Amino acid sequence: MHEHVVVVGAGIAGATCAWTLAQRGYRVTVLDAGSEPGLGGSGNALAIVYPKLVDAELTPQHLQSMAYLHALERLKAPDLAEHFRATGVLWLDQPRSLRDVDAHHPWWQQHVWRLSAEEASACAGVPLMQSALWLPAAGVIRTHGLLRSLLAPEAIRCVFNARVQAATAQDSHWQVSTTQGNFRADALVLAYAGEAPLSLSEGLPLRPVRGQISQFPANLALRTTLCYGGYLTPAEHGYHCIGATFSPQDRGTDIRPEDNAYNAQALAQVAPQLAAKLPPLSQWRARASLRWQTPDFSPMAGRHDPSLRDALRAHTPRRHRPQLPPSKTPPLFVSLGHGAKGYTQAWVAADVIVDALSGQASRWPEALTQQLDPERFIWREWQRGRLWTPRRARA
């Protein structure tokens, strides 16, 4: 058994990995460049746990659907439950709304059902002009408290202000060098936000997406969370949370008044009667951060061999994958690219990683683990001829 695991990153991806490892009997050291957990994309005051609803036949094998149900189970843990508020989510109907969520849907009348505008208004505590899908078990996470509780088990040691400078494979273990010293690990998990100065993640593509969430003083009797492309939460600590902008390839984290205005306008388009009650933007506050996502929008979770790209250069591209010798690299795993869905998806990623590390049979369908496979992008590169180096060129 790999007794000691180093996890790089103390956002939701790293914290769920550390907590899951501790639950399975591992000793864990969490390294983070920040001064506390969740200073990157995981640091908004609230996060919404809800699924992306898809057609009935797709739901049983759908990543976000499975991840949502799994997250709800994990959030029942005694040390975590206090940080989740099951407000329910009303997904407001719009012209392009999903219509296949009906009596034939596998979640019907258990996890989702449709409400008329009158019923939705009664549920929300505020007047709404359109019907909605009601997800009663969905809700909001108080993120700072949850991250602290995830990292609280005795088996977990957190080292902050520890910027990772290098990670070197030495025989059967990793030597991780940071600004706070060196750490030895039987296995290594990369769960940082964005780009890290490590060649270990070469070939694992991540793209930045700026997002700004806004908060305004509580003045609505809203009881549930509203989703409509954007979202609006009930009051928490005297503020409603509304968001969020989505700006791919924008790396700025400055607060922009025009982004607050965008969030207000998005609400006005679907609920003008609520938007009319919003206080002046001068009373709003905001937070901007970068979320990192993959080119195919699915996160990366599982084992990664950093030597794979070089190994494939000697093989001519073809449809079927070549047989490669077993990797001599100590166990390396990643949980990356969760975008804005980390608080829903990271729990599945953590389970996939710890199952693979421990050698335990995975509870997840093979199609899901393949969808999450971090090396899928490297194999696609190879199959498209972008890695292969002819023998003459290698010589």
Residue 395 pLDDT more than 70?
no
Instruction: Tell me the average pLDDT across 383-391.
Output: 77
- pLDDT-derived band at 55 (thresholds 50, 70, 90) equals confident
Instruction: Tell me the average pLDDT across 219-229.
Output: 97
Whether residue 340 contacts residue 19, with contact meaning beta carbons closer than 8 Å, is answered with no
Whether residue 195 contacts residue 224, with contact meaning beta carbons closer than 8 Å, is answered with no
- DSSP letters, 358-374, are HTPPPSS-HHHHHHH-T
Closest among 33, 27, 41, 45 to 9, alpha carbons compared: 33
pLDDT value for 102: 82
Question: To the nearest whole percent, how much of the chain has pLDDT over 90?
Answer: 79
Q: How far apart are CA 30 and CA 133, in angstroms?
A: 39
Q: Tokens standing for 222?
A: 């809203």
Read off the CATH number of the domain in which 249 is found.
3.30.9.10
pLDDT value for 351: 98
pLDDT value for 135: 97
Closest among 234, 230, 255, 254 to 244, alpha carbons compared: 230
Q: Same domain, yes or no, for 238 and 126?
A: yes
Which of 5-9, 99-103, 234-238 has the least mean pLDDT? 99-103
Q: Is 207 exposed, middle or buried (0-12, 13-18, 19+ CB in 10 A)?
A: middle
pTM over cut 0.85:
yes
Instruction: Identify whether 58 is part of a domain.
Output: no
pLDDT value for 98: 58
- pLDDT-derived band at 114 (thresholds 50, 70, 90) equals very high
Q: Tokens standing for 68?
A: 């949502």
Domain end (from 262, 291, 320): 291
Residue 247 pLDDT more than 70?
yes
Instruction: Tell me the average pLDDT across 52-80.
Output: 93
Number of domains in the chain: 2
Most confident of 1-10, 55-64, 254-263: 254-263
Residue 30 pLDDT more than 70?
yes
pLDDT value for 201: 83
State which residues form the domain around 187: 4-41+146-206+295-394
Read off the CATH number of the domain in which 328 is found.
3.50.50.60
Burial 358-391 (b: 16+ CB within 10 A, else e): eeeeeebeeebbebbbbbbbbbebbbeeebbeee
Count of CB atoms situated within 10 Å of the CB of 186: 18
pLDDT value for 1: 55
Whether residue 115 contacts residue 134, with contact meaning beta carbons closer than 8 Å, is answered with yes
Sorted by sequence, the CB contacts under 8 Å of residue 33 that are 6+ apart come out as 161, 162, 163, 164, 192
Instruction: Identify whether 78 is part of a domain.
Output: no
Q: Same domain, yes or no, for 168 and 305?
A: yes
Instruction: Identify whether 79 is part of a domain.
Output: no
- pLDDT-derived band at 99 (thresholds 50, 70, 90) equals low
Q: Is 276 exposed, middle or buried (0-12, 13-18, 19+ CB in 10 A)?
A: exposed
Sorted by sequence, the CB contacts under 8 Å of residue 202 that are 6+ apart come out as 306, 309
Q: How far apart are CA 66 and CA 51, in angstroms?
A: 9
Instruction: Tell me the average pLDDT across 65-93.
Output: 97
Could you tell me the CA-to-CA distances from 7 to 19, 67, 172, 266, 307 in Å, in that order? Answer: 11, 21, 17, 38, 20
The torsion angle over the Cα atoms of residues 18, 21, 23 and 25, rounded to 10 degrees, is: -130
Q: How far apart are CA 54 and CA 340, in angstroms?
A: 18
pLDDT value for 53: 87
Instruction: Tell me the average pLDDT across 12-31.
Output: 98
Q: Same domain, yes or no, for 276 and 354?
A: no
Domain end (from 291, 317, 332): 291
Per residue in 301-353, pLDDT (tens digit) is 999 999 898 889 888 888 788 888 888 899 999 999 999 999 999 999 999 99
- pLDDT-derived band at 33 (thresholds 50, 70, 90) equals very high
Q: Same domain, yes or no, for 227 and 376?
A: no
Per residue in 195-218, pLDDT (tens digit) is 665 778 888 999 999 999 999 999
Instruction: Identify whether 131 is part of a domain.
Output: yes
Could you give phi then psi for residue 212, rounded to 5 degrees? -115, 125
Q: Same domain, yes or no, for 213 and 132?
A: yes
pLDDT value for 31: 98
- pLDDT-derived band at 392 (thresholds 50, 70, 90) equals low
Count of CB atoms situated within 10 Å of the CB of 35: 8
Q: Are strands 285-293 and 207-217 parallel, antiparallel or unpaired?
A: antiparallel
pLDDT value for 2: 63
Given the structure tokens 């829903």, which residue do they identify?
Answer: 344
Bridge partners of 114, per DSSP, are 133
Q: How far apart are CA 307 and CA 200, in angstroms?
A: 8
Indicate the residue type of 313.
R
Mean pLDDT, the chain, whole residue set: 93
Residue 129 pLDDT more than 60?
yes
Q: Same domain, yes or no, for 222 and 284?
A: yes
